[in-house]
Structure 1
Amino acid sequence: MADSRLRLACLLCVIFAAGSVTASKELISKMSTGFTKVVDQCKTELNVGEHIMQDMYNFWREEYELVNRDLGCMIMCMAVKLDLIGADQKMHHGKAEDFAKSHGADDAVAKQLVGMIHDCENTHQGVEDGCSRTLEVAKCFRTKIHELKWAPSMEVVMEEIMA
């Protein structure tokens, strides 16, 4: 379960990522829709508070500190619900790529996103607690997306929340 949470965090990031700076906002919006479909299910199952929803809302804000272990648990739950984790409780690269492509990413971008998540997983594989590891992977991925200038604007995030 610990590895699957880490993989889920990475996969969540894949859902929110994009291929080019201009197209990224549209792609991220489309990909995030897939994840938001399972938010309520995981929120109920995990009995998480509104503070986790606040973390999810602020996920792409670079200055916002992601420190709550429960966010990692939430991300993992969502990835499991979307069948992005294999029986070995690791991110299923093929399914993750297919998920990104089904939301508008091309082959190269889908592979790049999965590769970025995989790198983050490898960097944080020593974190024993699954939820904490997932959180660290998500933070790593967020940093990589910001470095590429692919993070969605708050307007895009707000539109998705209101939709």
Structure 2
Amino acid sequence: MKQITSTFMKALDECRHELKFSDHVIRDLYFYWKEDYTLMKRETGCALVCMSQKLDLLDTSGKLHHGNAKEFAKNHGAGDDTAQKLVTAIHTCEEQNSGVEDACMKALEVAKCFRTAIDQLNWVPKMDIIIGEVLSEI
């Protein structure tokens, strides 16, 4: 999970320049893995959509591209079984939020659902390790 999160953080920098979003988005993403932190801002969902597009994880309809997502996870250290569990978790979260029309709000709700699923699998990465890795690559 830490390698995947690190790659998302790199895409975040590109999206930050493109969308010119506020600092609260960075704060939301920094605290993303804290289960008690509530992500509420639509702008954060827009940043997640942008990052997912940059990483080629969405299909033309804006839904998770299962093949690309599984390969992405495998290319970042996940085994086949783990990659499939990640894709299944996101797909389940997408289905649970299929009624949300706004793409940014849908991404936000899917992200919150995914965070809960990863927490239940006990796969939440340690933020101090992730931040250290990201900073060392800058």
TM over 0.5: yes
Q: What is the letter of the counterpart of residue 95 of structure 1? A: N
TM-score scaled by length of structure 2: 0.92
- Residues 42 and 104 in structure 2, CA contact (< 8 A), matched pair in contact too: yes
**What corresponds to 1:146 in structure 2?**
119
Does the aligned pair in 2 maintain the 1:57–1:157 contact within 8 Å?
no
- The two structures, once aligned, show a CA RMSD in angstroms of 1.2
Structure 2: distance between partners of 1:64 and 1:42: 22
Q: What is the DSSP-based 3-state SS (H/G/I as helix, E as strand, rest coil) of the residue aligned with 2:85?
A: helix
Amino acid at match of 2:117: K
Runs of at least 5 residues in structure 1 that lack an aligned partner in the other structure: 1-27
Alignment of 1:33-52 (within 5 A): 33-52=6-25
* Larger relative contact order (CA 8 Å, sep ≥ 6): 1
TM-score by length of 1: 0.79
Report the CA distance between 1:128 and its aligned residue: 1.2
Q: Taking every aligned residue pair, what percent have the same amino acid on both sides?
A: 45
CA contact (8 A) 1:75 1:134 kept: yes
Structure 2, unmatched stretches of 5+, are none
2:6·2:134 contact (CA, 8 Å) conserved in 1?
Answer: no
The alignment partner of 1:37 has SS state of helix
Inter-CA distance 65–88: structure 2 relative to 1 (3 Å threshold): closer
